[in-house]
Structure 1
Amino acid sequence: MTLFDSFLTRATLAGVGVALAAGPLGCFVVWRRMAYFGDATAHASILGVALALAFSVSVFAGALLVSLAMALAITLLSGRGYGADTLLGVLAHSALAAGLVAVSFLPGVRIDLMAYLFGDILAVGKLDLAVIWAGAALVTGLLAWRWQSLLTATLNPDLAQASGIDPAREQMILTIALAVVVAVAIKVVGALLISALLVIPAAAARPLSSTPERMALMAAAIGAASALGGMQISYSFDTPTGPTIVCLAAAMFVLANTGARRIARRFR
């Protein structure tokens, strides 16, 4: 028996892998106020799952392609007569509804929708684990490679343009990274909770960080701690694992913000 034969070990490693990629990426989601953007991309992944099952291809590939298509569509359609929140709302809910309807037309296919909506981390296999860590490594490497350009384009697009950095290109890089994280995280926390794993650890890290780099590292650490702690709590109290991980991350967000305020008041 090897280490990876234990479903708890595979689940724990899957949660940590997703958290390490989602934390730093979530910082850009928070800085750019893209939370709803991430939500729309995550909802679209359900349609990708349905298409993958219909054509008997990898669920990861289907979720990735549809998530990427949705993210690109949102990027291209932004600013064409509709507010960003309206456009995101229409596309997010339309894609989710289309995915759920498409699943109902699959003859002879049994699918546990709850697993894709809220995650089924305990069912992660060795191949799933390899895909999750490969996707996490790709996203982490991409962010590290483009960090300074992404940061400049996020903080000051005009300065980025003057420095020879194309803000639209950096936005596209974030879009691709977001689609990859959504595709690998759907097995862990599900389509409805992916955006929470992106936003909450980053938001919790914000009051504890003095630099963008520190915030990215703190977000990754908080996400990983949420995955590890959520797994333990879920195992001990027999609660759904994905939602438990998100609840623990939310508790850390509350503690981080209340603790930061108390420290600030003490040193006034």
Structure 2
Amino acid sequence: MLDDFMTRATLAGIGVALAAAPLGSFVVWRRMAYFGDATAHAAILGVALSLALQISVFAGAMAVALAMALTVTILSGRGYAMDTLLGVLAHSALAFGLVAVSFLSGIRIDLMAYLFGDILAVSRGDLAVIWGGAAMVVGLIAWRWSPLLTATLNEDLAYSSGIDPRREQLILTLALAITVAVAIKVVGVLLIAAMLIIPAAAARPLARTPEGMAFIAAAIGAGSAVVGLRTAYVLDTPAGPTIVCVAAICFLLTSLFRSTRRAGG
């Protein structure tokens, strides 16, 4: 079954959707959209370093994404405006990554595949990494779901309950780095943030509980991957961007549903 490239691509898209959905819900609740963007952009530098050092691209991308996320977390409380800080770090990391790639003499690298993804080229080994990473993220979020939710809703309530919000922030940071590392092959660094945010935002009008929003976001993300791949195959369009377009259409439809329900109510 895994000999078929479309089957591998579909499984890869579903794996990334399952990893991104619960994490994306927290990104939406915490208004961390640019945080995810900065972490994703840093992954290009990780790709360049991993190729130069001849180590796993997954390991390099995750290490640099984690370093970026930790840097943002540390500097955010030291007098820097968050939007300015994220803007500087996101674009600087992407620029340094692209420059670093240009120094890789003798190494052939398809830069567009890392920027926009190359889901159709996913191998069996890539599938193992993607699903392994997705299992780690889902397991991590499930393990810390209640403390993460409490820290997201109210930091004072978290402290009074014996929960350290900074520790929960670090857990989210680790989960984000893993998600970026597994998603880079599927949708590329420029579209990772979209797959984090759009399915979760589309799920919000349909959900009545936080858990429901995470499950619906996973369904929307997985459905977008399946439909997007089929659409890209039929229309001969880039697979990664097409998946994001399908997710964006889902967001539009759920937004219209919410507007209609409010008007009717």
TM-score, normalised with respect to structure 1: 0.98
Match of 1:196 in 2: 194
Residues 143-181 of structure 1 deviation map (CA, whole Å, 9 limit, x = unaligned): 111000000000011001000000000000000000000
Amino acid in the other structure paired with 1:257: S
Match of 2:35 in 1: 37
* Counterpart secondary structure, 1:99: helix
Match of 2:107 in 1: 109
Match of 1:57 in 2: 55
Name stretches of at least 5 consecutive residues in structure 1 with no aligned partner.
none
* Counterpart secondary structure, 1:193: helix
Matched, 1:96 2:107: no
* Counterpart secondary structure, 1:5: coil
Residues 39-89 of structure 1 deviation map (CA, whole Å, 9 limit, x = unaligned): 000000000000011011111110000000000111011121210011111
Matched, 1:180 2:178: yes
What is the CA-CA distance between 1:24 and the residue it aligns to? 1.0
CA distance in 1, matches of 2:68, 2:139: 23
CA distance in 1, matches of 2:259, 2:212: 19
Match of 1:68 in 2: 66
CA distance in 2, matches of 1:264, 1:20: 30
* Counterpart secondary structure, 2:190: coil
Count of residues paired in the alignment: 265
Matched, 1:153 2:139: no
CA distance in 2, matches of 1:107, 1:92: 25
Sequence identity percentage: 72
Matches within 5 A, 1:234-249: 234-249=232-247
What is the CA-CA distance between 1:263 and the residue it aligns to? 2.1
CA distance in 2, matches of 1:81, 1:261: 39
What is the CA-CA distance between 1:259 and the residue it aligns to? 1.2
Amino acid in the other structure paired with 2:130: I
Residues 196-238 of structure 1 deviation map (CA, whole Å, 9 limit, x = unaligned): 0000000000011111010010000000000000000001111
Query: Higher mean Cα deviation, 201-210 or 256-265?
Result: 256-265
Question: Which of 20, 23, 28 is matched with 1:22 structurally?
Answer: 20
TM-score, normalised with respect to structure 2: 0.99
RMSD between superposed Cα atoms in Å: 0.6
CA distance in 1, matches of 2:182, 2:164: 28
Match of 2:169 in 1: 171
Match of 1:123 in 2: 121
Name stretches of at least 5 consecutive residues in structure 2 with no aligned partner.
none
